[in-house]
Structure 1
Amino acid sequence: MAQLKKSRCTLSGIGMVVAMALCIPFQAEASQPELEVVAEWNHLNWDLGDPAAEKAFNDKQDYKKAMLHGVKVDSKGNMYVSTARWGGAQVPATLSKLVKKGNGWVLQPFPNKNLNDINNPKGLKAVLGFEIDRNDVMWILDQGHIAGAPNKQGDEKLIGWDLKNNREIARYEFTNEQVDFTCSFLNDVAVDNDAGVIYITDSGIMCNPLKGGLLVYNMHTKEAKRVLTVPQWVNDEPGFTFKIHERDVLKAKEGKPNSMKTGADGIALSGDKKTLYWTNLTGNRLLSIPAEKLRDFSLNEAALEKLVRIDTVLPSNTDGMTADRKGNVYMTALTLNGLMKRDVQTGKVTPLVTNNEIAWPDTLGWGPDGWLYFVSNHLNLWVDGDMNFDNPPVSNFRIYRVHLGEQPYTIK
């Protein structure tokens, strides 16, 4: 495990802002890359361009309804984060750009306040997964649900936003045949610019039993298809349970045992773009399928089911995934408190970096020059209502990064 060596920057003049831009180096063992904290918060704060609204958000402690999910970085090094509105409409934005304020970071609604307006019928409702491709186009996956409420047509959608020209260039609204407006939980995306397709996971957690699945969107034809719904490949593994820092995930309630059930979650495209990998969060199998078969809409599900392979059994279940140009696959490791790596040459999966200050490593994102970013968000405490927003022993929300090479590794 990496040993911590911290040199904290001074935090001053931020007022209500608890976000900190720290650049804290963590000295890892020789076998592990150095782990660095880029930003951290005890609770999230937004720059809304409206001091009264910002004060009300803090005074009412609406920040307790907001948690950090994903981080992505564009070609200029700008960081963007998602905050799905699991806690309700009080979360002022579901997609934001990080901007400096004093010595810290605050969240600024992105692309703008209007698109994040909960009352905008064409706006973003609850973004969890998103990705920035090699052309600096941000592909935004809106799962739609506000505090678990059922969706209606237009809530679940995929939007392409051109970061260079600051404009929307694509929009696809999923139908109730492609997603279940009650059960679906659109989770994450993997982008293939060469083939012009986007692969999507649906965790299906809003119903019991789950209704997980995989979807594919074709950028050129602007068509989408739900391509895989076979329960054994896209739902939870029966009987699988796990702990974070020796704590059960989800409290036992009303005599029922703790049980987190989540289907298809992390997703990544191999370096040669020939293989699509994914995992079910409630399980520890790394699954794969030939990507070209998955995007062939003429194939039926029975044919695709026969092509699914269990690549390996992982040492931990995982939430976020990505791959580099060489073909190595990187995954967050929930029970190991860090990241793990599948070596392209041997297929062996080993811990990449671990640290006890990491809790629920969530989503991964590539930055320029070989930096790999990821979020640690104590999701297990938040969902149980046990998060300490005032003086936690470790900051509730952190963005870390590790340096894996001099050249950009992203294969998008």
Structure 2
Amino acid sequence: MNACVMNRWFVGGVALGVGALILGGCASAQRDGAVAPLTVTASSPLDVVAEFPHQQVTGVAVSRAGRVFANFPYWSDGHTVSVVEVRPDGVQQPYPNTDWNRKTGPEAERFVCVQSVFVDETDTLWIVDAGSPKQTGVVEGGAKLVKVNLASNQVAQVIHFDRSLAPAQSYLNDVRIDLQNNFAFLTDSNLGAILMVDLANEQAKRVLENDPSVKPEPNLQLTVDGTALIDPEKQQPLAIASDGIALDPEGRWLYYKALTGRMLYRVPLDDFEASLRSDVDLSNRVERVGQVGASDGLAFHDGRIYVTAIERDAVMRYDPATQQSEVLVRDERLKWPDSVAFGPDGALYVTTSQIHLTPKFNRGASRVEEPYRVFRVPREEVATGPLAE
């Protein structure tokens, strides 16, 4: 083992030109095709897990064995792969195979525009395919939820969503799984709605699509890293609907919020699931939980909700019991923290999608100068935080 590995720093190799895995930063350790390591101070709470120089990452998921998965939506011409496993040796392997990641062929049998990945407590990987390349509209057969058995690395189930569930202008975003009753819940971040799916019989239903809780909050201007986000087509402040979602399995609550919004909402899981087969008025079941700020991803862990605070370059956590928020970590490298996930040891993983620096919000010119990244906050820091006030 060389000195860099002994010092906890190693730069991994590159597969298919996607990027390089980095488990730290040793200035002299760089193989052909690898990305130069970052200079990170010893006191920094963020470890670099992976860098993607040319692929915009949004989602991250970690298995019970510590396997790391990331996804890249088809938002630009440079898109080459949809889902990868970031292996310990530095290779970023298309997952579950190259066939699912191909760019041609029937849309129902391959990834089209993957927005998120999620590993449930049974160590099953779920992949949300919004099916809307470059966000121009859902293509036939594109919108789906893909279940992958991590033990066999085989696709175990594919649930397709027709136009009644994923309209042409919808954009399926994130997913959570209720293992107790075998339900999936997905957010639609474009039109605003929650899609619930009975995984046993694949029945599904769109709910709350007329409720204010899934809509962007009116007259809210998002400003990220000094950039006021304006929708270039509508020439008005960017308005993104229901996006982040989190599930409390013990309390039996489903939490969610709009990205362009500061209020967190929740609905009892049992009411959600009963509404699939009845006329339960879910709007009457919606509860306002508290203000958590504009955010992209949510994750429920140890009784608290972890929030990617996109306007603060931070990850925060919110305690529903006390209605108190605290900053876990704030760092200028958290450029649009997008999704969060937890590893088997309690470490927190977070992606940086740099959405505000892309050409869409900068008059057609990219301001992205750094690689897209996955960071890790060690378990000890998560347990003892907050790390910043």
Q: TM-score, normalised by structure 1?
A: 0.80
Distance 2:36 2:67 in 1: 16
Which residue in 1 is equivalent to 2:21?
none
Whether the aligned pair in 1 keeps the contact of 2:100 and 2:110 (CA below 8 Å) is yes
Give the C-alpha shift of residue 242 in structure 1.
1.4
Q: 1:366 offset after TM fit, Å?
A: 1.2
Distance 1:304 1:359, change over 3 A: same
Given candidates 95, 98, 115, the residue that maps to 1:113 is: 98
* Deviation, structure 1 residue 38: 2.2
Give the AA of the match of 1:318. Answer: S
Q: 1:153 offset after TM fit, Å? A: 3.2
Partner of 2:26: 9
In structure 1, the residue matched to 2:138 is 151
Report the equivalent of 2:261. 283
2:15 is matched with none
2: distance between equivalents of 1:135 and 1:275? 19
* Structure 1 residues 189 and 271, CA gap change in structure 2 (3 angstroms): same
| AA partner of residue 359 (structure 1) | K
Which residue in the other structure is 1:322 paired with? 299
Aligned to 2:375: 400
Pairwise CA distance, 1:351: 1.7
TM-score, normalised to structure 2, is 0.84
Give runs of aligned pairs for residues 240-255 of structure 1, distance below 5 A.
240-250=220-230, 253=232
Q: Secondary structure at the match of 1:125?
A: coil
Query: Secondary structure of the residue that 2:60 maps to in structure 1?
Result: strand
Q: CA deviation at 1:284?
A: 0.7
For 1:267, give the aligned amino acid: I
Give the aligned partner of residue 128 of structure 2: 141
- SS of the residue 1:293 aligns to: helix
Residues 24 and 109 of structure 1, relative CA distance in 2, 3 Å threshold:
same
Asked if 1:92 corresponds to 2:56, the answer is no
- Structure 1: runs of 5 or more not aligned: 1-5, 29-33, 44-62, 205-210
Native 8 Å contact 1:271 1:328 kept in 2:
no
Q: CA deviation at 1:13?
A: 4.5
Cα shift readout 1:286-339 (whole Å, capped 9, x = no counterpart): 0111111111112336x101111111122x201000011x32111111111111
Separation (CA, whole Å) in 1 of partners of 2:204 and 2:39 = 41
Letter in 1 for 2:283: E
Change (3 A) 1:307 1:36: same
Provide structure 2 residue ranges, at least 5 long, that are not aligned to the other structure.
Answer: 1-8, 10-23, 384-389
CA distance in 2, matches of 1:225, 1:145: 20
**Corresponding residue for residue 72 of structure 2:** 83
Q: Which amino acid aligns with 2:229?
A: V
1:69 maps onto 2:54 in alignment: no
Q: Root-mean-square deviation (CA), in Å?
A: 2.5
Query: Alignment partner of 2:134: what SS?
Result: coil
Q: Aligned pair in 2 of structure 1 residues 283, 345: CA closer, same or farther (>3 Å)?
A: closer
**Matches of 1:173 and 1:309, distance apart in 2:** 30
Equivalent residue, structure 2, for 1:169: 156
Query: Which residue of 2 is the match for residue 371 of structure 1?
Result: 347
Note if contact 1:70-1:129 (Cα within 8 Å) is conserved in structure 2: yes
Amino acid at match of 2:373: R
Secondary structure, in 3 states, of the residue corresponding to 1:134? coil
Equivalent position of 2:193 in the other structure:
213
Aligned equivalents of 1:217, 1:19: Cα separation in 2: 44
* Structure-2 separation of matches of 1:76 and 1:16: 28
Instruction: Work out the CA distance in 2 between the residues paired with 1:24 and 1:92.
Output: 29
Native 8 Å contact 2:299 2:307 kept in 1:
yes
How far off its partner does 1:237 sit?
Answer: 1.0
- Secondary structure of 1:319 counterpart: strand
Q: Counterpart of 1:295 in 2: which secondary structure? A: helix
Question: What's the offset of the Cα at 1:100?
Answer: 5.5
User: Map of 1:277-316 to 2, 5 A cutoff?
Assistant: 277-296=255-274, 297-300=276-279, 303-314=281-292, 316=293
User: How far apart, CA to CA, are the structure 1 residues paired with 2:326 and 2:218?
Assistant: 25
1:336 to 312, 328, 339: 312
Aligned length: 355
Alpha-carbon contact 1:127-1:144 (below 8 Å) kept: yes
Question: In 1, distance between residues paired with 2:36 and 2:372?
Answer: 9
